[in-house]
Structure 1
Amino acid sequence: MKNFWCEVYLDKLYNNLKIIREIAGDKKVIAVVKGNAYGLGIQEISKAIEDKVDYFAVADIEEAKLLKTEKEILLLSPLISKEDFSTDLKNIIFTIDNKEIINDIPEELEAKVHIYVDTGMNRMGVKGEELGDVISQIENKLPNVKIEGVYTHLHHTSNVKYTLKQIDKFKSYIEPYKNKFKMIHCLNSSGFINDEIRTACDFTNAIRAGNIIYGYDGMGKGLTRIYNYYSKPVNVCEVKKGETVGYGCLFKAKKTMKIGILGFGNIEHFGFSKDLRKNIFIDVLKAAYNSIKFRPVIFAGNRGIRVLGRSNMNITIVDMAGISKDELLRVEISPILADSRIKKIYYNENKEEVFFDGNISLAGDE
């Protein structure tokens, strides 16, 4: 048994969405659940929030197929290909991010699309001066395709001055055609929580909420992290003074001590990444740095626990001084980076486990 798992707190998830709704006012909320809901389980999270959001957004058609929902699902640019248009999913909104892809859309296709406009990120998107031409091509060539929305991406919100110029650029591009669009959106999570940026987007009527749903960002607005990783030692043993611990003999005990073996490591994406070329010198420097500059990532309560040596494939060794074998250890690791196969347990506000069955329905649903 690995004794390593992730807890997801649905009450905190719901409270985050409540705060987002309050700040957003009458704007529609597009819940971004790409990347396996930022590592927290796309099927479970989407089911849990289905009645609390207006739309979903995913990165590609394969993610869309995982959502058991009647809500419309926006396929975000740029991961859209010719083959995607043959999907039998009826609730998909495609993104058009270049003129060429219009030629790949079957003339008989009945679909909704959003047009992605490039405002400076320069990795994809319709150029502003091409927007009118793209709209005309769709309307003339594809009578069954409805242009329902337009959006751009605010890619540098830490620079407010830059972002405000980007928003003005987007607004100027869509102004001549704004009556054609049911949905206009450019606010992402980082833009949404900035009051100045959010105010500048008063001409939009939807937001794309990703990081802030899960509490990766927005603490200043009362948003909270909805997950924690926990571990219990799979074994505890004694190491005598002068003995070394782990691969490379990177840690040497200065006194007889108790160590704990935790059942996770590099394979869960914890610890130092494995170099393609073994470099003992670098490993020694890292270990020396950690012994001098102690920055804990494993905690017993509020007390940081020292990792001894370095994590290996599936094991991490820690100093168990003052800690019992049954004590719960909190592990700081991001779900975005962590192995998605790590067991996840979903809890409601009463700390009761919530189960998702084969139909992705919540236990207790009526």
Structure 2
Amino acid sequence: MNNLKIGYSELLTPSKVECPVFNRATKAIINLNTYKDNLLKVKGAVNKKVMAIVKANAYGHGIVPLSVEAEEIVDSFGVAIIEEASMLREAGIKKPILVLGYVDSEYLSYVANEGIRVTLYSYEQWKKWQEQIFKKNRLTKKSVIFHLKINTGMNRLGFKSEEEMLKTIQEIEATQGVYIEGLFTHFATADEPGDSLISQQENIFLEMISKLEKDKYNVHIANSAYALNRESKIPFDMIRLGISSYGLLPDSKLENQLKVTTDPILQLKTKIVHIQELKAGDKVGYGATYKAKEGERVGVIPIGYADGLLRRYALNAYVLVNGERRYFTGRVCMDQAMIKLEPKDCLEDEVVIYGEQDKEKVSLEMAAEWSNSINYELACLISERVKREYIK
């Protein structure tokens, strides 16, 4: 099978390329102009450099189309894995990219030549990179650029010992072909109003960097929640903007508390493809969990948990048809789900899973509450077999 590279302009007009035909009614519609507006709103409100966090396929929205749109606005990009950084470079993204997670030192030549920044979080990790640098220093034309992560209480990745961190920095500064560009940490409870752990983490970070020449480094500590909901005691240069750029709340508790409001860029839609006429006592779906109390009409919609709906989602959730709420009947299946219809609902009627229809809406925050989840997870769960349609 030939590898087919599709450019961004072609992604917006798939009929021009040789690619599978999508004939399912289920699609995610992503508004690129709204995404850019969100980036500009936040950048204006915080007056800092912005790193666009586009990991996990831009939280399910589409890493390449959104990054291409964002490049003229943001200062850099943040991803989770080296494969995501490679996708951005293949798409023509020129600005700096930081891999926030683990990168194997075997990729030394690649990250150096492509200008991909690497997160360094332990002395042990540095020694592995140092070994590769000595092996390949004649093959690498450009420097390896690190951002040092400091563990201030998240207890995931990061230097926890000041001594270990200073030793690492000292060795890096004595090594040719490598340097430290940034220092950062991550707050565990930035989206929890009034949580005292934030202050503790801030103090730890300040203490950890107290012996450093801070002006030498790009300091970034703030995610969406921290940047838009708090006044920091730490001077920092850049924010890592993720969830708010997609128009989603860092946490529902922060509604109406953020410095700037952003708008959702995604709608998830499908349509009614079949209607079942039920008699009293008829049951619906796996486990026969729904029983008709009287004559009812049930609509089948071509979307299921393989597309991103959670199986438990149907317990108390609804979608929108003709500007009104239509509740699920029975369990969400892998590829389909069933909803209770009203007499006016017909075949081919549009069904909104996430988004607005007339004066009603279903937000990802609402869906997260229904399913005991978070909006981040639900956005990321929208699978690749759901066609993304990009509009401006």
TM-score greater than 0.5 by the shorter chain: yes
Q: CA deviation at 1:128?
A: 4.3
Give the match's secondary structure for 1:118: coil
What whole-Å deviation, never above 9, does each CA across 1:257-312 have from its counterpart, x for those lacking one?
Answer: 22211111121131326xxxxxxxxxxxx98xx4xxxx333122552211111111
- The separation in 1 between residues aligned to 2:287 and 2:236, in whole angstroms, is 57
- The separation in 2 between residues aligned to 1:128 and 1:103, in whole angstroms, is 16
- The separation in 2 between residues aligned to 1:121 and 1:84, in whole angstroms, is 27
Q: Is the 8 A contact 1:40 1:335 kept in 2?
A: yes
Give the match's secondary structure for 1:22: helix
Which amino acid in the other structure matches residue 201 of structure 2?
A: Q
- The separation in 2 between residues aligned to 1:154 and 1:54, in whole angstroms, is 22
The answer to whether structure 1 residue 97 and structure 2 residue 121 are counterparts is: yes
Question: 2:186 — aligned with what?
Answer: 153
The answer to whether structure 1 residue 63 and structure 2 residue 84 are counterparts is: yes
Question: 1:29 — aligned with what?
Answer: 50
- The separation in 2 between residues aligned to 1:114 and 1:251, in whole angstroms, is 54
Identity rate, percent? 28
The answer to whether structure 1 residue 49 and structure 2 residue 49 are counterparts is: no
1:76 to 85, 88, 100: 100
| Of 322-331 and 222-231, the range deviating more from structure 2 | 322-331
Please show how residues 334-349 of structure 1 align to structure 2 within 5 Å: 334-348=378-392
- The separation in 2 between residues aligned to 1:119 and 1:249, in whole angstroms, is 50
Question: 2:170 — aligned with what?
Answer: 136
Q: Is the 8 A contact 2:46 2:228 kept in 1?
A: no
Question: 1:85 — aligned with what?
Answer: 108
Which amino acid in the other structure matches residue 5 of structure 1?
A: K
2:236 to 189, 195, 204: 204
Give the match's secondary structure for 1:15: helix
- The separation in 1 between residues aligned to 2:168 and 2:331, in whole angstroms, is 54
Q: How many residues are aligned here? A: 324
- The separation in 2 between residues aligned to 1:193 and 1:179, in whole angstroms, is 23
Question: 2:245 — aligned with what?
Answer: 213
Question: 2:349 — aligned with what?
Answer: 327
The answer to whether structure 1 residue 171 and structure 2 residue 171 are counterparts is: no
4+ aligned runs moved over 4 Å, structure 1: none
Q: Which structure carries more relative contact order (alpha carbon 8 Å, separation 6+)?
A: 1
Give the match's secondary structure for 2:114: coil
1:246 to 275, 279, 285: 285
2:325 to 304, 322, 338: 304
Give the match's secondary structure for 1:127: coil
Question: 2:10 — aligned with what?
Answer: none
Structure 1 residues not aligned, in runs of 5+: 274-285, 349-366
Question: 1:358 — aligned with what?
Answer: none
Question: 1:114 — aligned with what?
Answer: 147
Question: 1:2 — aligned with what?
Answer: 24
Q: CA deviation at 1:37?
A: 0.5
For normalisation by structure 2, the TM-score amounts to 0.78
Which amino acid in the other structure matches residue 156 of structure 2?
A: R
Q: Is the 8 A contact 2:118 2:147 kept in 1?
A: yes
The answer to whether structure 1 residue 18 and structure 2 residue 45 are counterparts is: no
Structure 2 residues not aligned, in runs of 5+: 1-22, 355-363, 365-377
Q: Is the 8 A contact 2:77 2:96 kept in 1?
A: yes
Q: CA deviation at 1:59?
A: 0.5
Q: Is the 8 A contact 2:81 2:99 kept in 1?
A: yes
Which amino acid in the other structure matches residue 208 of structure 1?
A: R
Question: 1:235 — aligned with what?
Answer: 274
Shift in alpha-carbon separation, 1:301–1:176, aligned structure 2, 3 A: farther
- The separation in 1 between residues aligned to 2:44 and 2:119, in whole angstroms, is 28
What whole-Å deviation, never above 9, does each CA across 1:146-168 have from its counterpart, x for those lacking one?
Answer: 21111111111215422022112
2:197 to 146, 152, 162: 162
Give the match's secondary structure for 1:268: coil
- The separation in 2 between residues aligned to 1:47 and 1:166, in whole angstroms, is 34
2:160 to 104, 123, 127: 127
- The separation in 2 between residues aligned to 1:248 and 1:171, in whole angstroms, is 56
Q: Is the 8 A contact 1:147 1:180 kept in 2?
A: no
Q: CA deviation at 1:237?
A: 3.1
Give the match's secondary structure for 1:57: strand
Which amino acid in the other structure matches residue 310 of structure 1?
A: R
Which amino acid in the other structure matches residue 225 of structure 2?
A: S
For normalisation by structure 1, the TM-score amounts to 0.83
